[in-house]
């Protein structure tokens, strides 16, 4: 277990994104939660949505006066093979859960729980990777409230994997889901719903003219292998079968039938805890063949992602299953219209025809049709993009998430004192 580094952040910098109600909630929390110590635990410090959220949330909770640490599990590739299989099983993949997998999971999570130093009033365990620490933590720290923050859509979970998760929930005081239906099969802990959010001040999301000098270089789209004067469709996602990169390529080919100069950029990361990344990357590489207008970019700095989400004519999020998809809010915030699939948290962010388009996950021709409509109509693109930015401003910015966490923390720390 090690502490992930975080940047210093202050809530005052977010002032223009905080409304009066949120301001009052933050003010009250400063008194009510003074002295409360919190740890967030997950399995990677970089790549993927959880790291993105926690890296911004932790410094702001500290700024409110809640001593908050961000801890990363120590784990081997073998453990991550198991936890990715669990992730896939929870998203509906019908694979077997073997005794060997169970043993790898159990031993690593127990070791990490034993290796957790420091004293905390609340420990937030993110996703299935760290959930297995709960029984050991509960035994060793009966005074600590344990929260499980599940970022995954569990609505189509394979039963063996759901049972596996359920077997760890006894010591959990609160289970947090992105949508109420994700937790409908979960019984035991009290449940709450918290929508994720993006940080408008990071190098990934701030205006390009406010980037640091180093970051500005990565944001110069002329450095990249595509032509900024031609139509550009972008998907930013881990190389993961659930993000359907092969479906993205099919949709692009369909679009290219009517708009021959269209270009596709797939931006992908391969976080430590996602062993499938390289395998999927190779499949995608093969599927692109020698098409000079399809570009696969990996490990882009945040400012590069920022510039691409802004420079794209259309951002695509063609997931087959999705927890939330921060990438949708990231693009909408930049005024770029998004064509997203009608799965998981995407319809929470996109209202079809209002601030983007929703398509059914396997409907390639509808996907291509919506992309084409947007590429053909600048006024439509602008209108949807502007509304998208408003959606994110109202509902998916970091200060709202901070307030949600403050509510949660006062709730769980109070119920531990006064059950
Ligand atoms: N991301 C990134 N580089 C990449 C691909 C993704 O920084 O090459 C980021 C992306 O901008 C977003 C996060 O990883 O902030 C992905 O979060 P999301 O909720 O969309 O999906 P997850 O990976 O958690 O399934």
User: In this predicted model, what pLDDT tens digit does every residue of 337-355 receive, in sequence order?
Assistant: 999 999 999 999 999 999 9
Domain CATH code at residue 213: 3.40.50.2000
Residues 266, 169, single domain; the answer is: no
Residues 330, 403, single domain; the answer is: no
Residues 329, 401, single domain; the answer is: no
Give the pLDDT of residue 282: 94
Domain that holds residue 29: 2-197+397-417
HSE-up of 326 (CA within 13 Å, CB side)?
23
Tally of domains within the chain? 2
Residues 235, 193, single domain; the answer is: no
**C-alpha distances in Å from residue 69, one per residue of 124, 144, 152, 336:** 10, 15, 23, 34
Give the pLDDT of residue 105: 98
Indicate which atom in ligand 1 lies nearest the CA of residue 50: 24
Nearest to 316 by CA among 250, 392, 270, 220: 250
Which residue from 50, 197, 269 has its CB within 8 A of the most atoms of ligand 1, so it is best to mutate?
269
Give the pLDDT of residue 357: 98
Ligand 1 center to residue 265 CA distance, Å?
15
Partnered with residue 264 across adjacent β-strands are 233, 294
Average pLDDT value for residue range 199-213: 96
pTM for this structure? 0.95
Ligand 1 center to residue 49 CA distance, Å?
5
Residue 333 placed within a domain: yes
Ligand 1 center to residue 278 CA distance, Å?
16
Residues 388, 253, single domain; the answer is: yes
Given a contact cutoff of 8 angstroms between Cβ atoms, the answer to whether 166 and 94 are in contact is: no
Ligand 1 center to residue 156 CA distance, Å?
22
Reported confidence tier of residue 417, pLDDT bands at 50, 70, 90: low
Residue 202 placed within a domain: no
pLDDT at 418 over 60: no
Nearest to 130 by CA among 203, 54, 228: 54
Give the pLDDT of residue 419: 43
Q: Rounded CA gap, 11 and 281, in Å?
A: 38
Residues 183, 215, single domain; the answer is: no
Indicate which atom in ligand 1 lies nearest the CA of residue 328: 20
Residue 242 placed within a domain: yes
Q: Are strands 2-3 and 67-72 parallel, antiparallel or unpaired?
A: antiparallel
pLDDT at 76 over 80: yes
- As given in the structure block, the two tokens for residue 340 are 């997203």
Q: In this structure, is the dihedral angle defined by the CA atoms of residues 330, 24, 10 and 29, taken in order, positive or negative?
A: negative
CB-defined site of ligand 1, < 6 Å: 48-49, 52, 204, 236-238, 267-269, 300, 305, 324-327, 330
Nearest to 415 by CA among 227, 192, 177: 192
Residue 138 placed within a domain: yes
Residues 282, 187, single domain; the answer is: no
Residues 358, 407, single domain; the answer is: no
What backbone phi and psi angles, to 5 degrees, belong to 48? 85, 165
Ligand 1 center to residue 5 CA distance, Å?
19
pLDDT at 372 over 90: yes
Residues 154, 289, single domain; the answer is: no
Average pLDDT of the chain to the nearest whole number: 95
Ligand 1 center to residue 33 CA distance, Å?
31
SS3 category, 100: helix
Reported confidence tier of residue 415, pLDDT bands at 50, 70, 90: low
Residues 235, 384, single domain; the answer is: yes
Angle at alpha carbon of residue 16, lines to 15 and 19, rounded to 5°: 80
pLDDT at 312 over 80: yes
Reported confidence tier of residue 272, pLDDT bands at 50, 70, 90: confident
pLDDT at 48 over 90: no
Residue 329 placed within a domain: yes
Give the pLDDT of residue 276: 83
Indicate which atom in ligand 1 lies nearest the CA of residue 236: 5
SS3 category, 234: strand
Residues 245, 308, single domain; the answer is: yes
Indicate which atom in ligand 1 lies nearest the CA of residue 317: 20
Q: Rounded CA gap, 318 and 341, in Å?
A: 5
- As given in the structure block, the two tokens for residue 11 are 């809530």
Residues 391, 406, single domain; the answer is: no
The backbone region for 208, taken as left when phi is positive above 0, alpha when psi lies in -120 to 50, beta otherwise, is: alpha
Residue 166 placed within a domain: yes
Ligand 1 center to residue 234 CA distance, Å?
13
Give the pLDDT of residue 414: 66
Ligand 1, atom 11, lies closest to the CA of: 327
């Amino acid at each position: 277990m090690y502490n992930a580094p975080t940047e210093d952040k202050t809530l005052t910098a977010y002032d223009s994104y905080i409304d009066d109600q949120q301001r009052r909630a933050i003010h009250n929390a400063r008194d009510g939660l003074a002295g409360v110590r919190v740890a967030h635990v997950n399995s990677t410090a970089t790549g993927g949505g959880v790291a993105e959220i926690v890296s911004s949330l932790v410094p702001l909770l500290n700024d409110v006066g809640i001593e908050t640490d961000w801890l990363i599990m120590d784990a081997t590739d073998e453990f991550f093979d198991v936890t990715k299989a669990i992730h896939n099983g929870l998203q509906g993949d019908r694979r077997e859960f073997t005794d060997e997998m169970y043993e790898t999971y159990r031993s690593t999570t127990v070791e990490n729980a034993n290796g957790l130093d420091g004293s905390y009033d609340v420990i937030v365990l993110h996703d299935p990777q760290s959930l297995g620490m709960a029984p050991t933590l509960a035994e060793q720290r009966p005074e600590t409230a344990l929260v499980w923050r599940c970022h995954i859509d569990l609505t189509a979970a394979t039963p063996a994997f759901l049972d596996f998760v359920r077997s760890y929930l006894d010591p959990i005081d609160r289970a947090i889901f992105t949508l109420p239906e994700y937790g409908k099969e979960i019984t035991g802990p009290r449940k709450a719903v918290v929508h994720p959010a993006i940080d408008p001040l990071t190098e990934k999301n701030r205006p390009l003219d406010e980037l640091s000098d180093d970051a500005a270089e990565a944001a110069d789209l002329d450095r990249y292998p595509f032509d900024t004067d031609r139509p550009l469709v972008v998907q930013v996602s881990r190389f993961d079968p659930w993000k359907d990169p092969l479906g993205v390529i099919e949709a692009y080919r369909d679009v290219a039938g009517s708009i021959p100069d269209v270009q596709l950029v797939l931006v992908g990361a391969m976080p430590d805890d996602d062993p499938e990344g390289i395998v999927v990357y190779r499949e995608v590489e093969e599927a692109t063949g020698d098409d000079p207008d399809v570009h696969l970019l990996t490990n882009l700095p945040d400012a590069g992602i920022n510039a691409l989400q802004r420079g794209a004519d259309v951002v695509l999020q063609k997931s087959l299953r999705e927890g939330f998809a921060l990438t949708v809010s990231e693009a909408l915030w930049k005024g770029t219209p998004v064509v997203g699939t009608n799965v998981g948290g995407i319809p929470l962010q996109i209202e079809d025809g209002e601030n983007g388009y929703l398509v059914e996950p396997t409907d390639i021709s509808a996907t291509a049709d919506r992309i084409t409509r947007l590429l053909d109509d600048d006024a439509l693109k602008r209108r949807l993009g502007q509304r998208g930015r408003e959606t994110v401003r109202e509902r998916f910015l970091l200060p709202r998430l901070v307030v949600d966490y403050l509510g949660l923390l006062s709730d769980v720390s109070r119920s531990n004192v006064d059950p």
